[in-house]
Amino acid sequence: MGFFIILGLLGGCANLPQTAAILERLPSDIPSRVELENVPFFPQDDYQCGPASLATVLNASGIKIEPETLVSQVYIPSKKGSLQIEMLASIRRQGRIAYELQPQLIDILREIQAGRPVLVLENFNTGFSQTWHYAVVVGYDLNREELISRSGINRRETLSFNAFEYVWKQGGYWALVVLPLDELPATARENQFAQSVLALEESGHLSHAKIAYQTLVKRWPKNLIGQIGLGNTSYALGDLKSAKLALTQAIQNHPESAMAHNNLAQVLADLGDMKEAIKTAEKAVSLGGPLLEETKATLKEIELKERNLKLRSKKK
């Protein structure tokens, strides 16, 4: 009852800031109405909005999966719900990029216009209690001032911009889109996308991360995270030639990167070019910085490897 009272009160109050900004100057770069009618719908069981909404966006991205498959990955019985960290991990496990949007309502509209449903976290805070809830925004109507969602047991739930902004704000403005490895979000920001791909690599999905890094550097050729990440994943997958190329380009674009020099030195050593490996490792050490101990260790290891190679050569 309290929830409906609050939403009713919002209907008679001034618009919240983001809603007001959009309605005062309607965006000219998006249509007035978009609804992604083909986005699948999985009505949730009790407390299962996490698996249901996650299955919705994964299926929309091309991954065929049922909510029941995701329950063990994201649902926490003691909390009767799912945390964002589990949701993010599950997306990466399925070979997709989880891209968290900026806390801007207009970004949700732009992703919808680009054909991507948006997973959001809402908090129906009545002042006496609060209910956290995941939903998937699949449409908007600027003239009617409303969003359209797959939510709970409702295939098509509408909420005014103002009411949505309220519950979304209470949910921390959290929203994300799920992307195939070779796609960029409509609202892509360089550093945010780079961090999303880095998180995919850190989750251990190296072959997927390599493809995502290629997507990153295709759009932003000089991105340091992208170039080093492409080098690191290529190296881990045994592709030393590609690793050398990516890390060499990283150094050309970022000559003060100790990490790029350090990692290239390791690749060169593995390729047997000990002279260049030592030279590159020495440069990494000379750059100092927070990785100094790691770069010293790499240089020491390469020098030891060279000595051992010389000893074996003499014995022959």
171-187 pLDDT, tens per residue? 999 999 999 999 999 99
Domains in the chain: boundaries: 2-179, 190-315
**pLDDT tier, 252 (very low <50, low <70, confident <90, very high otherwise):** very high
Q: Report the CATH architecture of 190-315.
A: Alpha Horseshoe (1.25)
- pLDDT reading at 235 higher than 70: yes
Beta partners for 35? 139
Spatial contact of 187 and 110, defined as CB atoms under 8 Å apart: yes
CA distance 38 to 86: 26
CATH topology of domain 2-179: Cathepsin B; Chain A (3.90.70)
- pLDDT reading at 10 higher than 70: no
Cβ burial 233-270 (10 Å sphere, 16+ → b, else e)? bbbeeebbebbbbbbbbbbeebeebbbbbbbbbbbbbb
Ranges assigned E (strand) in 41-117: 75-76, 81-82, 97-100
Range with the poorest average pLDDT among 22-26, 99-103, 228-232, 268-272: 22-26
CA distance 237 to 242: 10
**pLDDT tier, 107 (very low <50, low <70, confident <90, very high otherwise):** very high
CA dihedral 271, 275, 281, 286 (to 10 degrees): -160
- pLDDT reading at 8 higher than 60: no
Ranges assigned E (strand) in 152-222: 154-160, 175-179
CA distance 259 to 277: 14
What does pTM read for this prediction? 0.90
